Amino acid sequence: MSRIKVHDKEFELYIPQDQIERAIKKVADEISFEMAGKNPLFLIVLNGAFMFAAELFKHVNIECEISFVKLSSYSGTSSTAVVRELIGLDHSVANREIVLVEDIIDTGLTMRYTIDKLKKLEAKNVRVATMLFKPNAFKESFPIDYIGMEIPNDFIVGFGLDYNEHARNYPDIYKIVS
Ligand code: 5GP
């Protein structure tokens, strides 16, 4: 499908599935190489990262643990400055190598909050893996260790990303038609 309608907005095909999957495979290879022997704890940030994570972990071939957390700062089509609580953390992070698995980093505020929280809980090291990164929107300075693709500041949906909870299920990524 080259165009989709989600709620009141039109979206056009932007990144096809095979291109996304190639980018994710590259991230998985980098992680497998760098994190081997460190027994990392991957924390998948729900809901948006579920599809990225499912694809990523088909190719991460090292000893590791995988768990899920939730934290949301987003409603509608522009990132808000409100960061809510980190919930669902059911593993001890003290002295662990943590890799946060995120769908997209926009301003970086959400990740900054999450990294700080995990450091307060005495994580040994916190790395970040994101499927997509918007460098022109980024306002923070923490390093992003693993990036699938860099994209401009367009609002996108699909491959786990939603517009008011719809369109997460599309296997391709679509961008808003303005
Ligand atoms: P940040 O705190 O980095 O500004 O925002 C991160 C969160 O905003 C992401 O986890 C994601 O939920 C949401 N977000 C940022 N850009 C987009 C986008 O283009 N599309 C969608 N659907 N969500 C986005």
Cα 166 from Cα 20, distance rounded (Å): 20
| 39 cis-preceded (ω within 30 degrees of 0) | no
Catalytic one of 8, 18, 106, 145: 106
Any residues with CB less than 8 A from the CB of 34 and at least 6 apart, and which? none
Q: Where are the domains of the chain?
A: 17-152
Class of CATH domain 17-152: alpha beta
Ligand 1 atom at shortest distance from the alpha carbon of 83? 2
> How many angstroms is it from 37 CA to the middle of ligand 1?
32
Which atom of ligand 1 is nearest to 106's Cα? 3
Q: If 0-12 CB within 10 Å is exposed, 13-18 middle and 19+ buried, where does residue 67 land? A: middle
Ligand 1 atom index nearest CA of 157:
22
Residue 123 CB: number of other CB atoms within 10 A? 21
CA 143 to chain centre: 14
Determine the pLDDT at residue 71: 82
The residue whose CB lies within 8 Å of the most ligand 1 atoms, and thus the one to mutate among 103, 109, 112, 153, is 103
pLDDT in the model for residue 85: 82
Closest CA to 81 of 112, 55, 41, 36: 112
Percent of the chain with pLDDT over 70: 93
Full pLDDT tens readout for the chain, 178 residues: 899 999 999 999 999 999 999 999 999 999 999 999 999 999 999 999 999 999 999 999 999 999 999 986 555 566 556 667 889 999 999 999 999 999 999 999 989 999 999 999 999 999 999 999 999 999 999 999 999 999 999 999 999 999 999 999 999 999 999 7
Beta carbons of 160 and 49 less than 8 angstroms apart: yes
User: Which pLDDT value is given to residue 178?
Assistant: 73
pLDDT at residue 79, as a whole number: 57
| Nearest C-alpha neighbor of 98 from the set 84, 71, 118, 117 | 118
d(CA 63, CA 107): 32
Residues with CB under 6 Å of ligand 1 are 48, 73-74, 79, 102-110, 155-157, 161-163
Å from CA of 146 to ligand 1 middle? 17
Q: What is the pLDDT of residue 30?
A: 98
**Residue of 7, 12, 68, 106 best suited for mutating to test ligand 1, as the one with most atoms within 8 Å of CB:** 106
Q: Which amino acid is at 74?
A: Y
Type of residue found at 37? G
Instruction: Tell me the residue ranges of DSSP E strands in 86-145.
Output: 97-105, 125-133
pTM of the model: 0.94
pLDDT single digits (tens) 35-44: 999 999 999 9
116 included as an active-site residue: no
Nearest one of 26, 66, 34 to 50, comparing CA atoms: 66
pLDDT in the model for residue 75: 55
- Under 8 Å between Cβ of 148 and 160: no
Compute the distance from residue 162 Cα to the ligand 1 centre, in Å: 9
What pLDDT, in 10s, does the model give residues 57-83?
A: 999 999 999 999 998 655 556 655 666
